[in-house]
Structure 1
Amino acid sequence: MTEFAFDSGKIVQQLLVNFQEVNNSGVMGVDKRIRFLVAQLFTSENEVIDGQAFKATTTLFKKQLGFFNALDGNTRASLAGLLLVNGQSDEKTVARVIDHYELLVEAGFKRTNFTYFGAYLLLKADKPKHVATRAHDIYMALRKQHPFLTGAEDVTSAVLMAQLDTSLSVEQLAMINEYYFTEFNRAGFRKNDSLQFLAATSTLIFLECDVNHVKKVVQLMKELERADVKIRPLHYVTLGILAYVQESTELDVAFFDLLEAMRHDSGLRWNREFYTAMALSLYTEEQARNMTREQVESLMVSVHVLIAIERAAAASAAAAASVAAASSGGS
């Protein structure tokens, strides 16, 4: 990765270049949100995506899975982008993702596109079969607390918590998760899957109930809303990670410059909620990379893991939004 200069004009220009490369890759039938998500992944690394390598990675999934599987084009493109930006787009890694998907199904998860995101997160697990089993136990504990809210999307949250190096029981993890879910909801965050993911991320980071983290996330939300930046569920996880990596609850001018540049570009202003999510994500990753050595060493979770969480959450949310838009006849 080359050095990332946080220049709003250059970032928007590179984002649009990457978006066009994705469009020209020959990967068809992919929602606009997903195409921008993949473009954003490479923009955050100050790289231009190789369109042919992107297409080749999506083709690997097709070849290894065949026609009869739960993996749709949007999720396949998301996974291909996540693997490619991490230099993991080889045949062996794609096979591991598919194997991990089967492990999650054997553990009790349903065959859905969201289970593939859980399979992607399992790539970092030393004992994926054990993690898959524990993940399902955690999932069932979450479902017990929120039977009508907990759905297929929550496999990602469960897999994240199942990989924790902790002696805490499933019940204790679920209790901490419920604390964050309840406190964020009281502060104005909506009850939905994004809130579950924010709660799970907070649980993973602290492994305890941290009232100061809740206050900091809420302060950041209020700071943004005072600046006329409406916080939606799509932004929840990124906001939680930003509150963790940034000492202050104030956002500097770089974020607002980027948001303004996106707002005024005809290629980006089609969806305010989504371009705000991209701006927050790019800014959060930049803040994480600019942490001092002392700050990084004080973290309980590595910056690389945080970025992986944020990207997986964004991909999962974009895939869900794509499904919702398709079912309602949207673009």
Structure 2
Amino acid sequence: MVTEKLEKYIDIFNEMNDEIKWCDKKILMMASSVYVIKERAFNINEFVELSEHIKTNAGMFSPLKSNLRFSVASMLDTRFEQPKEVVQILKAYYDKLVEGGFKRGNFTYIAALAMMTDDVETSHLENKIDRALYIYKSMRQEHPFITTNEDYPLAVLLSEREGAVKDVIARIEYFYRELHTSKFRKGNDLQFLSHILSLSKEEEPEVYIKRSIEVLESLKRASIKPKPIHYPEVGLLSLIEHTDIELENTKQLKLKLDSQRHFKWQRELNFKVAVNLSVSESLKGSSLVETGMLTTMEAIMQAQQTAMITGITAATAVSASNNG
């Protein structure tokens, strides 16, 4: 039940918040949601130990000494049986990305995390990195003012799709252009939405565009005023069946989170978490398993979670800079 997911999410967040009181609440919210979506057991002592292991093994000026390590810890802990052993491999991926032309920083670590799969060998990475960098540069060529290092992780995920790079970029641009003509605002959030829709080829682009417009209008009717920051979630909802059910679940989950003491000031992030919980529940036992779409949806949810980490990392970095 989706309500059980919500209760588990709140429980995990409270455990994290009690133990790591000084960490930005948005980071802990995101980390908590990963455990629930992945349906992985959570142990606060192991989580803190893994986070400290990441920090201890990071270089003096590494982004992994910052709060980013908690986001990374949640992703590693839910994807790998021996997460501590994978930390050095994550650093190796990061170094390879830097050698390949990506700039050092938070978003290159998130890109390295996005590039890691269950097979974490570092051999033959050069071709993948070259393709990812080519896609990123092509994105910058199309949108030089809105494409930044924040787009590294999704460029990596897009590079794993089959087809020529020019076709991948053309598909993104088609979504971006058509959605803008349908009341979606131009900007990096619309580019994120275009990326997420581009990851699925189960339907023709026109189908996903129509659904995205319908989701946007349905959210308005449900008294959830969608903002550009919510566009990735609009994309996620537009890719699944029975959208009305997910929208109602999302609304109820968001209302419950908005009423909670720790979450009432994080309404935009509450919407993102609510969508994740609702969609992850709907995928269980779905007909998507038979169609092969489930694997695609898992990749798209990873992209959406990656976008969440990226956005939270960027926002907290700006906040820290302003406070400094």
TM-score > 0.5, shorter chain as reference: yes
In the alignment, structure 1 residue 108 sits paired with structure 2 residue 105: no
* CA deviation string 1:220-263 (max 9, x = no partner): 11101111112223322222122112244564543332222122
- Structure 1 position 321, deviation (Å): 2.1
**Root-mean-square deviation (Å):** 2.5
In the alignment, structure 1 residue 184 sits paired with structure 2 residue 172: no
Aligned twin of 1:229: 224
Q: Is the 8 A contact 2:246 2:282 kept in 1?
A: no
Q: Is the 8 A contact 1:157 1:196 kept in 2?
A: no
Counterpart AA for 2:12: N
Residues in 2 aligned to 1:173 and 1:65: alpha-carbon distance in whole angstroms? 35
SS of 1:275 mapped into structure 2: helix
Aligned twin of 1:38: 31
Counterpart AA for 1:14: K
Counterpart AA for 1:18: I
In the alignment, structure 1 residue 135 sits paired with structure 2 residue 128: no
* Segments of 4+ moved more than 6 angstroms: none
Residues in 1 aligned to 2:14 and 2:294: alpha-carbon distance in whole angstroms? 38
Residues in 1 aligned to 2:61 and 2:322: alpha-carbon distance in whole angstroms? 25
Q: Is the 8 A contact 2:250 2:271 kept in 1?
A: no
Aligned twin of 1:150: 147
Unpaired stretches in structure 2, ≥5 consecutive residues: none
Q: Is the 8 A contact 1:205 1:300 kept in 2?
A: no
Q: Is the 8 A contact 1:122 1:128 kept in 2?
A: no
Residues 212-221 or 69-78, more deviating: 69-78
1:194–1:75 distance in 2 versus 1, CA, 3 Å: farther
In the alignment, structure 1 residue 305 sits paired with structure 2 residue 296: no
In the alignment, structure 1 residue 280 sits paired with structure 2 residue 287: no
In the alignment, structure 1 residue 213 sits paired with structure 2 residue 202: no
Q: Is the 8 A contact 1:234 1:314 kept in 2?
A: no
Q: Is the 8 A contact 1:80 1:89 kept in 2?
A: no
Unpaired stretches in structure 1, ≥5 consecutive residues: none
- Structure 1 position 23, deviation (Å): 2.1
Q: Is the 8 A contact 1:153 1:193 kept in 2?
A: no
1:296–1:263 distance in 2 versus 1, CA, 3 Å: farther
Q: Is the 8 A contact 2:250 2:278 kept in 1?
A: yes
Residues in 2 aligned to 1:22 and 1:66: alpha-carbon distance in whole angstroms? 25
Residues in 1 aligned to 2:62 and 2:70: alpha-carbon distance in whole angstroms? 15
Aligned twin of 2:316: 322
Residues in 2 aligned to 1:35 and 1:242: alpha-carbon distance in whole angstroms? 24
- Structure 1 position 45, deviation (Å): 4.5
Aligned twin of 1:119: 112
* CA deviation string 1:157-213 (max 9, x = no partner): 21011112x2x3222211111111222222233333332222122222129961110
- Structure 1 position 111, deviation (Å): 0.5
Aligned twin of 1:6: 2
Residues in 2 aligned to 1:251 and 1:299: alpha-carbon distance in whole angstroms? 18
SS of 1:245 mapped into structure 2: coil
TM-score of the pair, normalised by structure 2: 0.89
* CA deviation string 1:60-101 (max 9, x = no partner): 222322212233522211111111122355233111111111
Aligned twin of 1:201: 196
Residues in 1 aligned to 2:202 and 2:293: alpha-carbon distance in whole angstroms? 12
Counterpart AA for 2:73: A
Residues in 2 aligned to 1:94 and 1:207: alpha-carbon distance in whole angstroms? 34
1:62–1:210 distance in 2 versus 1, CA, 3 Å: same
* CA deviation string 1:244-288 (max 9, x = no partner): 122445645433322221222222211211111111111111122
Residues in 1 aligned to 2:5 and 2:233: alpha-carbon distance in whole angstroms? 18
Residues 135-144 or 173-182, more deviating: 173-182
- Percent sequence identity over aligned pairs: 25
Residues 263-272 or 30-39, more deviating: 263-272
Q: Is the 8 A contact 1:18 1:48 kept in 2?
A: no
1:88–1:234 distance in 2 versus 1, CA, 3 Å: farther
Counterpart AA for 2:33: Q
In the alignment, structure 1 residue 71 sits paired with structure 2 residue 67: no
In the alignment, structure 1 residue 22 sits paired with structure 2 residue 22: no
Aligned length: 320
